[in-house]
Structure 1
Amino acid sequence: MLDRFLFKQIDNSPLLIFRIFFGILVSLECYGAIITGWVKRNLIDPQFTFTFIGFEWLQPLPGLGMYFYFFVMGTLGICIALGYKYRYSIIAFTLFWTGVYLMQKTAYNNHYYLLILIAGIMAFLPANSNYSLDAKSNPSLRAFKMPAFVKWVIVLQLLIVYTYASFAKLYGDWLDFSVIGILFKNKSGYPVIGGLLQEPLLHRIVGISGILFDLLIVPALLWKPTRKWAFVVSIFFHLFNSIVFQIGIFPYLALAFSVFFFEPEVIRKIFFKQKEPYQNGPVTVPPNRKFVLGILGIYFLIQLGLPLRHYFIKDDVLWTEEGHRMSWRMMLRSRTGITSFKIVSSTTKNSFLVNLDDYLTKAQKNKVSSYPDFIWQFTQRLKREYAEKGEKISIYVDSRVSVNGKPYQQFIDPEIDMSKVSWSHFTHNDWILPSQPQQ
């Protein structure tokens, strides 16, 4: 039963057109990052970047190097779309994109992480087996079929993403729609829709539809009677997100995934009219079946477990942020803070407040004001800077944070010398004060 489900040969048209869509979209993302100034703002202008903790060695290239870096990634995207040296192109893109993801998190988006996962998966799939320059130059590569598990790997990954995104919204500030009003508040200046976005009725519609869409879209696309309607709703939903939140290629990538839900014959007739039809073929079990199933099992166990890790960390993830990233907790909260850093010289005993403008960009200051890992990393940078001058210091942080517009609360223990504490990846950092119930 399992072998028939996973290893039955099916038409590969969805994979081929997705390769083309994926390559075009990632090239637009990379070239667009240069044109819109994203690269300059986040990788060139800052004195230093806030990497993922443990990857401090991974720094942006000096000078104009990051422009070249993103130009190369964009060109790799074109190679992926054309199916030119596909295996090398997709592997190189995955490594380059992972590098950029880890070297800065000030401009964090969940779809940056999703791109790593999808590119990594695509590196193992026969996406260049037709309608590619590789297949044209080497006809022995040409194929009209693929094992069914190729489709189901993508579908299961999407099911995990959307399901966790839906469940994460089941908390008080989303269910009373207050957080949606906060997220839309700074959109009031948008032409035409700015005023509409401030309407409480729209907040209710967005709140309820957000939960239902994330929970039901994958099952609705899989079930043939609801597939076309689900696709229409998906178009509206993702275009709305693209216009309102301006989150890059993610809405269009989400729409591109839809090709895996329609019958391959439908995809062939739309995109590859000259392609030879392929009816469902025999079950072809590979000789390394156990290895393939083992790798897939381990991968999806990690994908299922990683978003749950915050349940095993003390306090509420909305307050501590511990376990938030890579958990599909998308567009869930608004977070602001007021934070100061006091340096006390161990030799002179003199103390002074750090001028954040001397170190950080505006976006970095917003993060350092309210996110614990940014706060910790900044104190470590200050410690290293003064150590290089031969001066030993203590650093005390006065931080007050507001989540979803609620009253500010003390966030970091002001009595702790932050230059002496370590960062815990998998357990609670005790220098983060516990959240207090709101009156």
Structure 2
Amino acid sequence: MWNRWLFRKMDNSPLIIFRIFFGFLVACESFGAIATGWVHRNLIAPRFTFPFIDFDWLQPLPGVGMYIYFAVMGLLGLFIALGYKYRFSIILFTILWAAVYLMQKTAYNNHYYLLVLISLFMCFVPANKNYSLDTKKHQEKQTDAMYSYVKWFIVLQLFIVYVYASIAKLYGDWLDFSMIRILMQPVADYPFIGEPLQQDWAHKIIGTTGILFDLLIIPALLWRRTRKTAFFLSIFFHLFNAIVFQIGIFPFLSLAFNVFFFEPKTIRKLFFRKKKAYTANELVIPKYNNTLLAVMSIYFSIQLLLPVRHHLIADNVLWTEEGHRLSWRMMLRSRAGKGQFKLVNNDTGKETIIKPAEFLNSSQQRKVFAYPDFAWQFAGYLEKEYSKNGEDISVYLENSQVSINDRPYAPFIDSRTDLANTPWLRFTHHEWILPSQLEDK
């Protein structure tokens, strides 16, 4: 059954146009990161970039290196769109994007993670087999067909993203719309839409729509009777996100995914009128079918398990953040923290209160008191900075308090814990994170 479903050939028009959209959008993202100052704020100006734990070896290039780095990614995006040396271009882009994603998390965004996954997928599919410079030079490699698993991989990946995003919203602060109020506060000064978005009725519409859209959009796009309606709702939904939240290319990338839900002949008529139609619909089972099925099974098992891993970790993920990342828990919380870092020289007994502003930019300072992994990494950074002469250094976070979703501040990190000399636990709860003070809502 799986072979008949995944290895039947179909018209490759959706994949070809998606490659063009994808390349153009990642080029815009890369060049835009330079133009808007994102590269400077997050990768050049900071003394310490807070890489993902275990990826400390990934550090920004010195000087203007990161500008060149992102310019190269932008050029690779254009090469991908044009289908020029496609395989080399997409593999190199994937490596570079994954590296920049892992080398800093101050500007963490679930969409950056999604882009890693989609880029990796694009490394293995024949997206350059038509309307590309590669096949213009080698016309014998041109084809109008692709395996059906290309479409279904994208569909299943998106289904996981959206459904988990919907389920994650089924908690008190979203259901009573208080989280929507917090999300809308930064746009209060927007012309025309700012004031209406502060109203209770708008919060109820946005909150309810967010849950229903995420839950139903993929089934609605798959069903022919609701496909067009779902598509136009997608346009409104993603353009709203683009305007209100200003999250780069990702609303437009989300719209680009829609090409996999329409009939290939519709895509061909819209974008490739001269392209030959593929109608053979033949079943061609490749020699690697069992290997591919095994790889896809492992991949999607991981995708299904990662978002629920926080249920195996003690306490509330909204409080501890343990298991939050890579889980499609989007726009669910607002965190603010406070406290002070105390450095103790165990050889001399000298105590020093550290001012984070001497080491971190404003965005990092907000994170370091509110997120446990940031606090732990900063403590380790301080220990290295102050123990260069071999001193025995301990680092404590005193008077640590955090506010979740505008609640009153509550004690957060145990001030007795030497964070600089405490191991990071990757799969279990950290006891130095004090018990949750979140009331049920």
After superposition, the C-alpha distances for 1:106-137 in whole angstroms (9 at most, x for unaligned) are: 00111110011001001100100000000100
CA distance in 1 between partners of 2:115 and 2:67 (Å): 20
Change (3 A) 1:53 1:6: same
Which residue identity lines up with residue 31 of structure 1 in the other structure? F
Instruction: Give how far 1:2 is off.
Output: 2.1
After superposition, the C-alpha distances for 1:214-272 in whole angstroms (9 at most, x for unaligned) are: 00000000000000000000000000001000001110000000000000000000000
Instruction: Give how far 1:357 is off.
Output: 1.0
CA distance in 2 between partners of 1:363 and 1:201 (Å): 32
Which residue identity lines up with residue 430 of structure 2 in the other structure? N
Instruction: Give how far 1:348 is off.
Output: 2.8
The two structures have a TM-score, normalised by structure 2, of: 0.98
Instruction: Give how far 1:339 is off.
Output: 2.3
Contact 1:27 1:77 in 2 (8 A): yes
Instruction: Give how far 1:437 is off.
Output: 4.4
- Corresponding residue of 2:260: 260
After superposition, the C-alpha distances for 1:59-80 in whole angstroms (9 at most, x for unaligned) are: 0000000000000000000000
- Corresponding residue of 2:201: 201
- Corresponding residue of 2:127: 127
**Counterpart mapping for 1:344-359 below 5 A:** 344-359=344-359
Asked if residue 158 in structure 1 is aligned to residue 163 in structure 2, the reply is: no
Which residue identity lines up with residue 218 of structure 2 in the other structure? V
CA distance in 2 between partners of 1:244 and 1:58 (Å): 32
- Corresponding residue of 1:362: 362
- Corresponding residue of 2:20: 20
Contact 1:386 1:392 in 2 (8 A): no
Instruction: Give how far 1:436 is off.
Output: 2.1
Runs of 4+ in structure 1 off by over 6 angstroms are: none
Which residue identity lines up with residue 391 of structure 1 in the other structure? E
Contact 1:339 1:368 in 2 (8 A): no
- SS of the equivalent of 1:125 reads coil
The answer to which of 428-437 and 83-92 deviates more is 428-437
- Corresponding residue of 1:3: 3
CA distance in 2 between partners of 1:134 and 1:417 (Å): 57
**Counterpart mapping for 1:20-99 below 5 A:** 20-99=20-99
Change (3 A) 1:265 1:368: same
**Counterpart mapping for 1:158-307 below 5 A:** 158-307=158-307
Contact 2:3 2:289 in 1 (8 A): no
CA distance in 1 between partners of 2:2 and 2:258 (Å): 24
- SS of the equivalent of 2:402 reads strand
Asked if residue 378 in structure 1 is aligned to residue 349 in structure 2, the reply is: no
CA distance in 1 between partners of 2:258 and 2:168 (Å): 23
Which residue identity lines up with residue 284 of structure 1 in the other structure? V
Contact 1:8 1:280 in 2 (8 A): no
Instruction: Give how far 1:48 is off.
Output: 1.6
CA distance in 2 between partners of 1:359 and 1:383 (Å): 13
The two structures have a TM-score, normalised by structure 1, of: 0.99
- SS of the equivalent of 2:395 reads strand
Asked if residue 419 in structure 1 is aligned to residue 420 in structure 2, the reply is: yes
Which residue identity lines up with residue 158 of structure 2 in the other structure? L
CA distance in 2 between partners of 1:380 and 1:428 (Å): 19
- RMSD between aligned residues: 1.0
User: Where do 5+ consecutive residues of structure 2 fail to align?
Assistant: none
Instruction: Give how far 1:280 is off.
Output: 4.5
CA distance in 2 between partners of 1:193 and 1:110 (Å): 26
User: Where do 5+ consecutive residues of structure 1 fail to align?
Assistant: none
Instruction: Give how far 1:332 is off.
Output: 0.8
